[in-house]
Amino acid sequence: MSAAWSESDPIVDIRDVHKSFGPVQVLAGVSLSMPMRSTACIIGPSGSGKSTLLRCINALVPIEKGSIKVRGIEVNDPKVDILNLRRRVGMVFQQYNLFPHKTALQNVMMAPITVLKQDRAEVEERARRLLRKVRLEGKEDAYPGELSGGQQQRVAIARSLAMSPEVMLFDEVTAALDPETVKEVLITIRELAEEGMTCLLVTHEMGFAREVADHIYFTDRGLIVEHGPPKEFFSNPRDPRTREFLGQIL
């Protein structure tokens, strides 16, 4: 299956995905596709299924209908090699979810050593490099409880990057931060995007979305109502729901 995939194909290809939690339909036929090295932002009102969509992409949540392909790997296939999928898809959460009993460095090193069985010395070198990259040099031995929100979130980003993913998913990663620290996290994400990482972000930072995204998707009640390049999307929204949402937020 992955053999049939080439770099010119979309790295994330979502077609007509449906998902319900009991009687509540959360995704009602979502389609989205991302070329490699692109950045897309998903915006939309609360409860419209943004987080659920991201969770479906790395199989944290199973879908009922439709297809999700990451690098040609069919996520919905019951025989999918889950490790192979998840090592290619990094995910960063709103609440950081760092492992509180491990230092920053250990947080970054854990998955490659435990899951990928990589050589410890090699992983440590990479982990130190990643922490330097997210500007946390000197915080290697700090525990999450000793770091600010913004610092914790950057450790979480480094932790995901340690698995050498090809796609990064960010779920409202700045929503729990205070305004001063939002910036340092956004800078880190922008650098990643500029280096050619494929990034899919759920965000409420419209200015940031306009600046970094190649494509914006607007979701409402489990559907993608409107999408397009940021210039067009923000200056000339067509759907009344988009206009209303942007009117409220801008």
Ligand X SMILES: Nc1ncnc2c1ncn2[C@@H]1O[C@H](COP(=O)(O)OP(=O)(O)OP(=O)(O)O)[C@@H](O)[C@H]1O
Nearer to another protein, 156 or 224 (CB): 156
Q: Does 51 bind Mg ion (CB under 5 A)?
A: yes
Residue 218 backbone phi and psi in degrees, to 5? -110, 125
Nearest approach, Cβ of 204 to ligand X (angstroms)?
Answer: 8
d(CA 233, CA 34): 17
CB of 24 to ligand X, least distance (A): 6
Q: Between residues 38 and 51, which has the closer beta carbon with respect to Mg ion?
A: 51
Which of another protein, ligand X, Mg ion, none has residue 111 at its interface (CB below 5 to 8 Å by kind)? another protein
| Gyration radius of the chain over CA positions | 18
- Interface residues with ligand X (CB under 6 A) are 21, 24, 26, 46-52
* Plot region of 79 (φ>0 → left; ψ -120 to 50 → alpha; else → beta): alpha
Which partner from the list ligand X, another protein, Mg ion, none does 179 bind, CB cut-off 5 to 8 Å by kind? Answer: none
In angstroms, give the least distance from the CB of 95 to another protein.
Answer: 5
Measured from the CB atom, is 51 or 198 closer to ligand X? 51
SS3 content of the chain, % helix, strand, coil (to 5): 40, 25, 40
In terms of phi and psi (left: phi > 0; alpha: psi -120 to 50; beta: otherwise), the region of 125 is alpha
- By CB under 8 A, tell whether 87 contacts another protein: yes
